[in-house]
Structure 1
Amino acid sequence: MKTILAAYSGAMRGTGTSVLSSLKDLPATPWMSRSKMEKHLQAISVLQWVLSFLAMGAACTVLLVYIFCTDCWVIAAMYVAWLIFDWNTPKEGGRRSSWVRNWTVWSYFRDYFPIRLIKTHDLLPSRNYIFGYHPHGIFCFGAFCNFGTEATGFSKRFPGIRPSLATLAGNFRMPVLRDYLMSGGICPVNRNSINYLLSRSGSGNAVVIVVGGAAESLDCAPGMNSVTLKNRKGFVKLALQQGADLVPVYSFGENEVYKQLLFEEGSWWRFAQRRLQKILGFAPCVFHGCGLFSSESWGLVPYCKPITTVVGEPITVPKFEDPSQDVVDMYHAMYTKSLKDLFDNYKTKFGLKESDTLLIQ
């Protein structure tokens, strides 16, 4: 057990040699081969991200309140003062850390599924971009791994392009979690933050927006090929106002990693989900994966299903300070067609049938 903890500690620090040396020290016993050890490290790497996303913010908030009630309250007061001073940093470009983005733990995260990034066209560093990511899935594993880390080599595939994955603004109000997210180049998905990145940070910026959002996560399940896009036009208007090119992105396999209980439209349970989604900002999905050490048990660890993220051809967008609705509709239609073409061109290469179609909701 000490060897396991030592190996994972090395992965979190980004020292891959510590992991390898620890694995070499494992006894040659039939119940714990090196391949099994690596698989467990991969599962732990994914689980730590899931738990961080679900519980880190709430846990750190409770801890901060608790420290205020102890003799160490000065530490909590200093941190709160820092939060107040640093409050606007997330919407002003954030605080990206190349060191964190290159942690070895993200390589284990990538290899668990595994996750791959496919480039179809070059992107010019002299332009800015808005990537539309589809589908949402439960936790956007493909979006995080490809654009929030360097595990799949985004910077090498797209030199001169800085990706910024946009997520719920509420996450950046949580102590510690906000800094963890910002270190990966993740930003709030609001107009101020996106406008700042596309207008005041020079060129070569790519803001990644999960267009379907929380509403789309309620419809994700294995075998589902549907995206929420028909009435999502705000990102197109933003692109027109900033003159940022639109890039469709589709992740094959994103919906396969968890099993979700889907409630019928019109049912009381679906109504409750929609209502809570509007109040909380995220959808309370009823889902399960597998256990940490057994794929036969239920748990929060996703199933080992390959996720392949395909970055499509950019759509050149002119700059309009106040685009008309007709212009927005025209570019939205162009984007929708480009996304469908991307899906159709690659679906059979990544496990789908020729008869499968992409449903636009």
Structure 2
Amino acid sequence: MGWIIVVLCVLSPGTGSSILSSLQDLPSALWPCSSKMEKHLQAISVLQWVISFLALGIACTLLLIYMFCTDCWLIAALYTAWLIVDWNTPKQGGRRSSWVRNWTVWTYFRDYFPIRLIKTHDLLPSRNYILGYHPHGIFCFGAFCNFGTEATGFSKKFPGIKPSLATLAGNFRLPVLRDYLMSGGICPVNRHSIDYLLSCNGTGNAVVIVVGGAAESLHCTPGMNSVTLRNRKASAAILGHKHTPTQALRSDLVPVYSFGENDAYKQVIFEDGTCWKALQRRLQKLLGFAPCLFYGSSWGIVPFSNPITTIVGEPITVPKIEEPTEEMVDLYHGMYIRSLLCLFDKYKTRFGLKESDILHIQ
């Protein structure tokens, strides 16, 4: 029954709410109490996202291959042809859907933890921005909910700004999953995609990059206040890979920190020098992400319902410099680190941390 309700809630914000209200009017003998029903819907909404991210692309790829061996081969051939034609769309701004970003299921997703978005400064629609998100966590729940959906009201808090959350480019090579991600305004974290959004798509664009990436996810654990940033200059940290830092010095930089992101799962941390740690790093280089051994609450895969609060800091105004020197990159890299540390120190005690807690920059 729970899966049926979640599908109905996805249809549209109004539809989901009205159906839910009608079902709540059923006799209590046929329906659980409202609070339990809300909890079930919240857990299911998070579970469907986790399963979609982990298995949807692979499952649809296998299904597409299987369909070529059945009487449905024509459908598979047509989809494959369209996939080839549409191959570069993720690198050219994607195909976001306001309808998908406003699905009611994302409000249940938000309320499960819950997740909150806090604005500290205005972002001007006349500028473009690169938002550096910290820390990575396991699944970046805060990043997805705040910037891949409208559940926390990003467009109302930052009018005129269009967020694009950047993730692994490999996800956009998988059928169906690529369209699911693009509908939320999610883009590949590669130079072509980011350059297009920040240079060829006008102003009012905000590319959100989880700077720590796969390397940071291997170290996340509850209570850990550490980000991977020290050795990642603008060329690597902001663009996501080692290319020229030109684009990083065309858009304003905004530090973003999510308190509670590392508390969603507990992870088995392997010691350096062990064969398991070596295997993780090898797979990270081959696959682009780091396979982690983690567990949550229900069935081990549903995360713990700990609050996640995302703070969007003050923009660092960056002039347009076509050929920045290494010294210029170092300057803004240092400014960014100091701004992130100030943001963490200013808000840490409001969200359960001690005054003595510090943010470790690795």
Q: TM-score, normalised by structure 2?
A: 0.95
Using the TM superposition, give the Cα deviation of residue 256 of structure 1 relative to its aligned residue in structure 2, in angstroms. 0.3
How many Å separate the matches in 1 of 2:19 and 2:246? 43
2:296 counterpart SS class? strand
Segment drifting more, 192-201 vs 16-25 = 16-25
How many Å separate the matches in 1 of 2:18 and 2:255? 39
Aligned to 1:168: 168
How many Å separate the matches in 2 of 1:336 and 1:266? 29
Using the TM superposition, give the Cα deviation of residue 67 of structure 1 relative to its aligned residue in structure 2, in angstroms. 0.3
How many Å separate the matches in 1 of 2:74 and 2:89? 23
Aligned to 1:100: 100
Please point out which of 242, 250, 253 is paired with 1:243.
Answer: 250
Aligned to 2:283: 276
Query: Is the Cα contact below 8 Å between 2:246 and 2:322 reproduced in 1?
Result: no
Please point out which of 242, 257, 265 is paired with 1:258.
Answer: 265
Aligned to 1:12: 10
Aligned to 1:226: 226
Aligned to 1:28: 28
- Closer, same or farther in 2 for the Cα pair 1:241/1:211, shift >3 Å? closer
Q: Which amino acid aligns with 2:272?
A: E
Q: Which amino acid aligns with 1:10?
A: L
Aligned to 1:294: none
Aligned to 1:129: 129
How many Å separate the matches in 2 of 1:92 and 1:30? 49
Deviations 1:281-300 (A, max 9, x none): 11010000111xxxxxx421
How many Å separate the matches in 1 of 2:16 and 2:297? 27
How many Å separate the matches in 1 of 2:151 and 2:40? 18
Q: Which amino acid aligns with 1:33?
A: C
How many Å separate the matches in 2 of 1:92 and 1:173? 15
Structure 1: runs of 5+ lacking an equivalent: 292-297
Deviations 1:319-352 (A, max 9, x none): 1112111110110000000000000000000111
How many Å separate the matches in 2 of 1:173 and 1:240? 25
Query: Is the Cα contact below 8 Å between 1:93 and 1:193 reproduced in 2?
Result: yes
Aligned to 2:323: 322
User: For residues 174-193 of structure 1, what are the structure 2 equivalents within 5 Å?
Assistant: 174-193=174-193
Query: Is the Cα contact below 8 Å between 1:195 and 1:242 reproduced in 2?
Result: no
Using the TM superposition, give the Cα deviation of residue 26 of structure 1 relative to its aligned residue in structure 2, in angstroms. 4.3
Using the TM superposition, give the Cα deviation of residue 31 of structure 1 relative to its aligned residue in structure 2, in angstroms. 8.8
Structure 2: runs of 5+ lacking an equivalent: none
Using the TM superposition, give the Cα deviation of residue 231 of structure 1 relative to its aligned residue in structure 2, in angstroms. 1.5
Q: Which amino acid aligns with 2:320?
A: K
Using the TM superposition, give the Cα deviation of residue 242 of structure 1 relative to its aligned residue in structure 2, in angstroms. 5.4
Query: Is the Cα contact below 8 Å between 1:198 and 1:242 reproduced in 2?
Result: no
- Closer, same or farther in 2 for the Cα pair 1:30/1:23, shift >3 Å? closer
Query: Is the Cα contact below 8 Å between 1:94 and 1:182 reproduced in 2?
Result: yes
How many Å separate the matches in 1 of 2:332 and 2:317? 10
How many Å separate the matches in 2 of 1:52 and 1:198? 29
Query: Is the Cα contact below 8 Å between 2:221 and 2:262 reproduced in 1?
Result: yes
- Closer, same or farther in 2 for the Cα pair 1:347/1:17, shift >3 Å? same
Aligned to 1:357: 358
How many Å separate the matches in 2 of 1:172 and 1:261? 29
How many Å separate the matches in 2 of 1:158 and 1:249? 14
How many Å separate the matches in 2 of 1:138 and 1:168? 14
- Closer, same or farther in 2 for the Cα pair 1:80/1:274, shift >3 Å? same
Aligned to 1:295: none
How many Å separate the matches in 1 of 2:19 and 2:357? 42
1:304 counterpart SS class? coil
How many Å separate the matches in 1 of 2:333 and 2:350? 27
Q: TM-score, normalised by structure 1?
A: 0.95
- Closer, same or farther in 2 for the Cα pair 1:26/1:267, shift >3 Å? farther
How many Å separate the matches in 2 of 1:26 and 1:359? 53
Using the TM superposition, give the Cα deviation of residue 174 of structure 1 relative to its aligned residue in structure 2, in angstroms. 0.1
Query: What's the RMSD between the two structures over aligned residues?
Result: 1.5
2:272 counterpart SS class? coil
Deviations 1:92-139 (A, max 9, x none): 000010000000000000000000000000011000000000000000
How many Å separate the matches in 1 of 2:133 and 2:232? 12
How many Å separate the matches in 2 of 1:55 and 1:100? 20
Q: How many residues align?
A: 353
Aligned to 2:215: 215
How many Å separate the matches in 1 of 2:309 and 2:18? 29
Aligned to 2:293: 286
Query: Is the Cα contact below 8 Å between 2:130 and 2:207 reproduced in 1?
Result: yes
Q: Which amino acid aligns with 1:274?
A: R
